[in-house]
Amino acid sequence: MANKSLFASAVAKLLPAADRVNRAGGIAYGYGSEHLLAQMAATGTLSDGFYGSGQDQLAQVLDAARQCDPHFVAQAALYARQAGKMKDMPALLAAFLTLADPDLAVRVFPRVIDNGRMLRSFVQIMRSGQVGRTSLGTRPKRLVQNWLEQASMRQLMQAATGKDPSLADVIKMVHPRPADESRKAFYGWLIGRPYDLAALPAEIADFEAWKRDPSRPLPDVPFEWLTAFPLTGEQWAVLATRMGWQALRMNLNTLARHGAFAVAGVTEQVAARLEDADAIARAHVLPYQVMVALGQVGEGVPLRVQAALETALDHALASVPAFAGEVVVCPDVSGSMVSPVTGYRQGAVSKVRCIDVAALVAAVVLRSSHQARVMPFEVDVVPLELDPFARVAVNAARLAAVGGGGTNVSAPLARLNREQATPDLVIIVSDNESWVDNCRHGATQVMKEWKWLKQRNRNAKLVCIDIQPYGTSQAPDRPEIMNIGGFSDDVFTTIARFAQGANPAGKTENWVDRVKQMEV
C-alpha cells in the first residue's frame, strides 16, 4: 500500500483549509452568517452550555442577525418556532425584527408568538434592552395588545400561569381594550384593581368560590392554579383529564404519588390521552420528550400508562422515512455530550442531555432502516451491538449509557476507511467540538477521511447534525455534505430530501435552503 502520510499530503491540497478554532481548541470551519443564524435559532436556548455561556449565545445570534437580510431573519424565526419547536430564540428574533424591519415584524409576530408563554418571553426580551430598546415602542405595544384582545379566555388563563413578567405585568404595560364587561372584570381581577364580581368569567368566579369552599367541584382553570392547594386523590384524578398533553407526560409521577391512579378508570383515561395521535400532533411533541418521560416514570405509574408512552413515541416518529442504501449513523458519546441539551439555567435545567438526543437519532434511524450500522464514538468508535427490532427507547437508553472521553468526530470515518467500507449515507450527530484528531493546519481530519471514503463511493453523502449552537463544523457544506442544526423531527425529513438527491431544478438543497422555503 502507498505511503499513507504522503498520500494524505496530496489529498489535503485538494481540500478547503479550516478557518476557525472551535471551543475545544480544534481546527474547524466557520458557518456563513445565514447558516450560523439558522443554527443558533434551531439549537440555541440562551442558556449556559458545556463550552459557552448564554451571554455568548445572545451576542453571537444578534451579531449574525445583523449580518443577514431581515427577510432571512424572519424565515429563521419561523423555522425555529414551527419546525424546530424552539421558544426563546424565535421570540428573540421576533423582537429583533421590530427594529430591523418593523413591517416584517408585524407579519412574523402572530406566527411566532403563538401562546402566552411566547408572549411573555417577547415582552421580557423587548424590555431587557438587548435588542436595542428598553420599552415596547408603539408598534410592538400594539402587537401585544392585539394578541391580548384576540385571545380566548382559555388562552388568557394559560398565559396567566408564569411570571417575570406575569400576564398581569404585561396588561399593566400595554393597557388592552377589553371587548366586553367580562374581559374588563378579568383584567381587574388579574391586576388587583376593582372589578364587577357579577361580570367575572364563569371559570374565574368558580375558582374564587372553590377557594372559599374546597368541597365544591374543581373549577375549570389551569391545573397549576390548583396544585398549590391540598387536593385529594379524586381531585388529582380530575386534573389528569384536564392537563394538556405535555403537562400530563411530565406529571405522571406526581399523579401516582397523590393517588390519582387508584381512582377507577383513571389509568385507562390517561393511557388513552397519551396514545392519541391527534393530541400528540397538536402538542408539537418532540420524540426525545417522550423518551425522557419513559425513562423517568416511577414504579407507581401503571404499566398500561408506560405502554401508552411507548405508543406515543411511535406516533411521534411516524413520519420518519427509511433511508435507501447502506446507512451508517454515528452518535457522539464523548464527555461534553452529557451536558443538558437546552443548557444550564437556574431552576430550569433539562434532564435531557445531548447524548440522549444523539442516541435517540441513532435508534430512530436504526428502526426505520434496519440494516443501518450504528457507530458510537468518543476518542475512538465504541463497540456496541443493538437490536434493530428492539423498541426505540431501549436502543436509545443503551447508547446513552455509553459516555466519556474526548471528542474525535473523524473516528467513525477512519474506521470505515480501515475497513474499506462503501456507505451511501453517513450521519454524524455531535456538538462538533472535535479536538482529539486536531491537525496543525489545512483541512480537518474529518474532511481528509471523507475524501478517502468518497474515492470508494463517489455517490456517498455526509450529514452532520449539530445539536449545540457553537457555530463551527468539521465538514463545510458541499453538494455531498450537509450540516443541519436542531433535534426536532423535521431533521429526519430534511435528511431524506438531501439523501434523495437534487430537487426538480437540478440543485442539491442544503439546510439553509430548507429554512429559506419558509413563507413569510
CATH number, domain containing residue 493: 3.40.50.410
- Specify if 284 maps to a domain: no
Number of folded domains that form the chain: 2
Instruction: Based on the fold, state whether residues 361 and 489 are members of the same structural domain.
Output: yes
| Domain boundary, last residue among 204, 221, 238 | 221
Cα–Cα separations (whole angstroms), residue 321 to 59, 380, 472, 485, 494: 37, 29, 28, 18, 10
Instruction: Based on the fold, state whether residues 119 and 21 are members of the same structural domain.
Output: no
SS3 for 1? coil
Which tens digit of pLDDT belongs to each residue from 248-270? 999 999 999 999 999 999 999 99
What's the chain's Rg over C-alpha atoms? 25
| Domain boundary, last residue among 221, 250, 269 | 221
Instruction: Based on the fold, state whether residues 168 and 91 are members of the same structural domain.
Output: yes
Amino acid identity at 471: G
For the four alpha carbons of 388, 393, 396 and 397, in that order, the dihedral sign comes to negative
Q: Is the pLDDT of residue 100 over 90?
A: yes
pLDDT at position 5: 46
385-398 average pLDDT score: 86
Instruction: Based on the fold, state whether residues 115 and 24 are members of the same structural domain.
Output: no
- Specify if 254 maps to a domain: no
Instruction: Based on the fold, state whether residues 346 and 423 are members of the same structural domain.
Output: yes
C-beta of residue 499 within 8 angstroms of C-beta of residue 323: yes
Nearest Cα to 416, choosing from 352, 499, 480, 327? 327
Q: Is the pLDDT of residue 7 over 70?
A: no
pLDDT band, very low/low/confident/very high, at 81 (cuts 50, 70, 90): very high
Could you give the CA distance from residue 90 to residue 96 in angstroms, rounded to a whole number? 10
- In the chain, the percentage of residues whose pLDDT exceeds 90 is 65
Amino acid identity at 503: N
Instruction: Based on the fold, state whether residues 131 and 22 are members of the same structural domain.
Output: no
pLDDT at position 8: 52
pLDDT at position 71: 98
Q: Is the pLDDT of residue 63 over 50?
A: yes
157-170 average pLDDT score: 92
SS3 for 27? strand
Instruction: Based on the fold, state whether residues 123 and 201 are members of the same structural domain.
Output: yes
**Degrees, nearest 5: CA angle 415-445-22:** 125
> Where is pLDDT greater, at 502 or 106?
106
- Average pLDDT score over the chain: 90
Could you give the CA distance from residue 13 to residue 78 in angstroms, rounded to a whole number? 40
> Where is pLDDT greater, at 285 or 240?
240
- Specify if 352 maps to a domain: yes
- Specify if 337 maps to a domain: yes
Instruction: Based on the fold, state whether residues 110 and 23 are members of the same structural domain.
Output: no
Q: Is the pLDDT of residue 203 over 60?
A: yes
pLDDT at position 51: 75
212-239 average pLDDT score: 93
CB atoms within 10 A of CB 459: 11
Nearest Cα to 48, choosing from 479, 469, 481, 473? 469
pLDDT at position 349: 54
pLDDT at position 38: 93
- Specify if 79 maps to a domain: no
- Specify if 433 maps to a domain: yes
45-65 average pLDDT score: 85
> What residues contact residue 358 under an 8 Å CB cut-off, 6+ apart?
331, 332, 333, 337, 399, 429, 430, 467
Amino acid identity at 119: L
Instruction: Based on the fold, state whether residues 374 and 498 are members of the same structural domain.
Output: yes
330-353 average pLDDT score: 78
Q: Which residues pair with 20 in a beta bridge?
A: 28
pLDDT band, very low/low/confident/very high, at 1 (cuts 50, 70, 90): very low
C-beta of residue 245 within 8 angstroms of C-beta of residue 273: yes
Q: Is the pLDDT of residue 204 over 90?
A: yes
> Where is pLDDT greater, at 401 or 508?
401
> Where is pLDDT greater, at 230 or 490?
230
Length of the chain: 520
Instruction: Based on the fold, state whether residues 496 and 355 are members of the same structural domain.
Output: yes
pLDDT at position 168: 95
Q: Is the pLDDT of residue 6 over 60?
A: no
CB atoms within 10 A of CB 148: 23
pLDDT at position 247: 93
Nearest Cα to 361, choosing from 416, 422, 297, 286? 286
Could you give the CA distance from residue 464 to residue 486 in angstroms, rounded to a whole number? 11
Nearest Cα to 133, choosing from 110, 100, 167, 106? 100
pLDDT at position 9: 53
pLDDT at position 393: 81
- Specify if 449 maps to a domain: yes
| Domain boundary, last residue among 197, 221, 245 | 221
SS3 for 331? strand
Query: For residue 481, what are the domain limits?
Result: 13-30+322-516
Query: Checking DSSP bridges between strand 425-430 and strand 472-473, what pairing results, if any?
Result: unpaired
Nearest Cα to 381, choosing from 322, 323, 324, 421? 421
- Specify if 296 maps to a domain: no
Cell numbers given for 339: 451536558
pLDDT at position 346: 59
Instruction: Say which residue the cell 463545510 belongs to.
Output: 476
407-423 average pLDDT score: 97
C-beta of residue 475 within 8 angstroms of C-beta of residue 447: yes
Instruction: Based on the fold, state whether residues 26 and 172 are members of the same structural domain.
Output: no
pLDDT at position 109: 97
Query: Checking DSSP bridges between strand 327-331 and strand 27-30, what pairing results, if any?
Result: unpaired
Instruction: Based on the fold, state whether residues 467 and 334 are members of the same structural domain.
Output: yes
Cell numbers given for 44: 440555541
Q: Is the pLDDT of residue 286 over 50?
A: yes
Q: Is the pLDDT of residue 4 over 70?
A: no
pLDDT at position 447: 96
Q: Is the pLDDT of residue 374 over 80?
A: yes
The three state secondary structure string of 452-496 is HHHHHCCCCEEEEEECCCCCEECCCCECCEEEEECCCCHHHHHHH
SS3 for 417? helix
47-60 average pLDDT score: 82
pLDDT at position 503: 54
